[in-house]
Structure 1
């Protein structure tokens, strides 16, 4: 299920961001760009360098709030690396109130772990965005269990979609598959561009020309797919003339040992690794 909210971003109360690295900063910028009042945003990240702290303060948000500065925020978004979760989660839990929804984008950190840090009754959403969030074109998979009310889920939706689209999955375990497809997916696309460029050089093109052709082809194909209502299979057929050059290439890519089984193995490998990291 995917939904969009129009108008200025209003989660119904203050928002606490734990972790202002690349993904946390991307979400923060998306919130402010969508009209969230910076006076209602609080950021905790002791690991940030002074220059980053100064930049955050320049945005008008409160950096390093004390317990008395913030009570019962509408949402706490946890965006730290899983390796430092042990120290970060108690800090976040100290600010949580009875109506706060906790949104975690920490890879491999389960609801069980999060509930132990907050409380068994805490409303917690697990989410997995991807790196195109940095340009507002990300896709996030999210899961909410029965502790999350419709209002709290709507708050999480509003905050997450500031970085792009949001889809909800029906089981927490499916977050691992989301990681395999879209969380790691941008790297697959970048590798495809690398491979196309190298193949272009092998076919005789100068390296810079081959990279430009590969890069712009993927950019353009992605935009065409975004603007089209046709499924990818139809778009593929639309550029494939019988016995033509594209058909010759697809004959290789769609062979029994071609691209499809290779991508399936890659996605399943990433999914298994996500499960391993989650313990």
Structure 2
């Protein structure tokens, strides 16, 4: 991640702050863009705008021919195939959303392209520089506009959400270093430990430590793919006591060890 991208990285977004965290983005010539479901099902969002016709997305039995007249947003954990027989040019973003209400799974959205998006694409085709802060700001503007065009149900808050649990979700969905116990979380909202666990499970559908463990592994996946940090450092940053504990939990959730996950899905594998 470049210095300019780090400055735009928002580790603890509030209600009136952008929830976006860009992991990787750019304008590129896509060559050999042929990946199976097990290679594309990732814990972060993807956004694509292509300059030419040709590539295809396949989600189950549904075939989606990609068009320069559409912007494509692919939600986290969406399995799909992508197929292309020729090289093509593409503006792409890999990013996460820190709004708990905006976590659809297994969905691919296609949005009609807008005039400023075409202008930005053509400008990136001629002048793209990942170190340029204005380009990054333009990319963030493009991404915010694309997300604002998603259906309203994507952003709808759960009707029965408790404000105390929403406060805890903001903590657990952030990028904190270390680990929170149930007692610490309960203390944050002035509840007993048992009462907190019961309320959290009722609101979220799973116990707090299970939810927190899954979120830590989700963050670890992104760090394995988009940071040069060692596995030991990633284990510490995501709140595990050591690499062995981290590897055991990572394998339980993803089916892979951290090292295999990085080799299989990292940039050097594609």
TM-score (norm 1): 0.25
Q: Which structure has greater strand proportion?
A: 2
Looking at secondary structure, tell me which structure has more helix per residue. 1
What is the TM-score when the length of structure 2 is the normalising length? 0.26
